[in-house]
Amino acid sequence: MSDTCSTHRSRVPRRRLGGYKRGATTVKEERGPGLGFILWMAMFDDFDIITLEDLEDIKESISTQDVPTAVNTIKEVLDKQDLVELNIGVTGESGSGKSTFVNAFRGLGDEEEDSAKTGPVETTIEPEAYVHPKYQNVKVWDLPGIGTPNFKADEYLKLVEFERYDFFIIIASDRFRECHIQLATEIVRMGKRFYFVRSKIDSSIVAEKRKKSFDQKKTLDTIREDCEKGLRTIGIEDPVVFLISSFELGNYDLNLLQDRMEQELPQHKRRVLMLALPNITLEINEKKKKVLEENIGKVALLSALVATVPLPGLSVAVDIAIVKKEIEMYYSTFGLDDPSLQTLCERSGKTIEEFKSLMKSPLIGGINPASILSLAGAAAVVVAENTVEYAVSLIPLLGSVVAGGMSYMTVSKMLKRALNDIAEDARSVLMASVQTEV
């Protein structure tokens, strides 16, 4: 398989900084965010995750704003990182379970609000986008069925506008057929990726359990080998097939599938994919934590930038707003917000109170300034740090270095502690829900 996508990372526009380059100890002229802040950033590996051009624009804006407006400006900056779109095309023969997979991937059942329509016959006539309930930039497309007598892969891909999809998932409920290979071949020719998914594994397991010699691992290996053998027979040299049950999505090959997708997506799409996946396995739980942890440097960098602006009260107000926004996102991503817990209760038979009793984070009582400041150990310490930040920010060059560094470290510490606590709570809730279902 091949892929035309490549990882893109913005680079520092050196011409706007009068010859500045990373690691330099001198700068020819002062522009943009300020000399002290630029020198401070050169000490950290995280600084190039947001361009200096962006930072220049941000600082120019907040320098002329009052505190509430500046806080909103920073929130808007954080919102923009989640505007990267991810479009997934799900296709296969009629009755193969396409629509059920679309729902399961979005964390929904077949009969919930905004679910894709399912049925024993083809219900999708034209490509239909289903937006992720938490991430509006993630769309899972239910595509029309393939396998009609006059099926032509090239015409089909033009019909569904293949350019808009980041990758395709080709689903079969038994053996893969010639139509699947035609489609896969054309997808590769057009420079996109695809993944073969053998669906309805739960039904296959139930059927095999009637045999006295039943062995689940052998059964799964047999199904996988049969699919791969069939694909080799009709032209795929080194096939990889993922066994999936949309009704038991956390079982079988979901982790293998998301691993492969994560490896092959451009870097800026990987974060979107991981955050959008339903939090139904311990492996996904850990990967979500890793993705969120990698973003802390970018968030703390914004805090450091604000700390260099000599406006009383601005730094502490922005830090609290930033941390609150990120923590709310953590709860939502791990499925610990009230709507997500309510859905989990309906599926597991437990109550929200039972799940919340498993949570140990100090934020469980509510996300407010007091609980946020407790993450730093003591509220007085943070207030003192922000007072010092304001004082040193008035000192040219060195002041920006000190103020930025203090703010960076404070916000990083708070977010790392919050993330560790919330991820551990998510792990506890997940284990309890799995035990209930078993």
Q: DSSP string of 129-163? A: EEE-SS-TTEEEEEPPPB--TT--HHHHHHHTTGG
CA distance 261 to 9: 19
CATH code of domain 86-278: 3.40.50.300
Residue 96 near residue 89 (C-beta atoms within 8 A): no
Q: What is the reported pLDDT for 399?
A: 39
CA distance 57 to 209: 63
Residue 168 near residue 193 (C-beta atoms within 8 A): yes
Residue 418 near residue 344 (C-beta atoms within 8 A): no
Q: In sequence order, what are the residues at sequence separation of 6 or more whose Cβ sits closer than 8 angstroms to the Cβ of residue 15?
A: none
CA distance 123 to 99: 9
pLDDT above 70 coverage of the chain, percent: 75
Q: What is the reported pLDDT for 50?
A: 56
Residue 5 near residue 166 (C-beta atoms within 8 A): yes
286 or 251: whose pLDDT is higher? Answer: 286
Candidate from 124-133, 135-144, 147-156, 390-399 with smallest mean pLDDT: 390-399
Give ranges for CATH 3.40.50.300 in the chain. Answer: 86-278
Residue 345 near residue 352 (C-beta atoms within 8 A): yes
Give residue-wise pLDDT tens across range 47-94: 444 556 666 677 777 777 777 887 777 777 777 766 788 999 999 888
Q: In sequence order, what are the residues at sequence separation of 6 or more whose Cβ sits closer than 8 angstroms to the Cβ of residue 155?
A: none
CB-count exposure of residue 65 (10 Å: 0-12, 13-18, 19+): middle
Residue 115 near residue 109 (C-beta atoms within 8 A): yes
- Neighbour count for residue 46 (Cβ, 10 Å): 18
Both tokens assigned to 246: 């949309």
DSSP state of 316: H
Residue 16 near residue 31 (C-beta atoms within 8 A): yes
Examine the pLDDT at 187 and tell me if it is beyond 70: yes
DSSP state of 117: P
Task: Say if strands 128-131 and 138-142 run parallel, antiparallel, or are unpaired.
Answer: antiparallel
Residue 193 phi, psi (nearest 5): -105, 155
The SS3 assignment for 172 reads strand
Burial 316-352 (b: 16+ CB within 10 A, else e): bbbbbbbbbbbbebbbebbbbeeebbebbbeebebee
DSSP state of 116: P
Give residue-wise pLDDT tens across range 324-357: 888 888 999 998 888 888 888 887 788 888 888 8
Q: List C-alpha distances in Å: 209 to 42, 215, 220.
A: 61, 8, 12
CA distance 106 to 88: 11
CA distance 218 to 286: 29
What's this model's pTM, rounded to 2 decimal places?
Answer: 0.74
Candidate from 34-38, 208-212, 363-367 with smallest mean pLDDT: 34-38
Give residue-wise pLDDT tens across range 276-290: 888 888 888 999 999
> Which H or E run includes 69?
helix 67-80
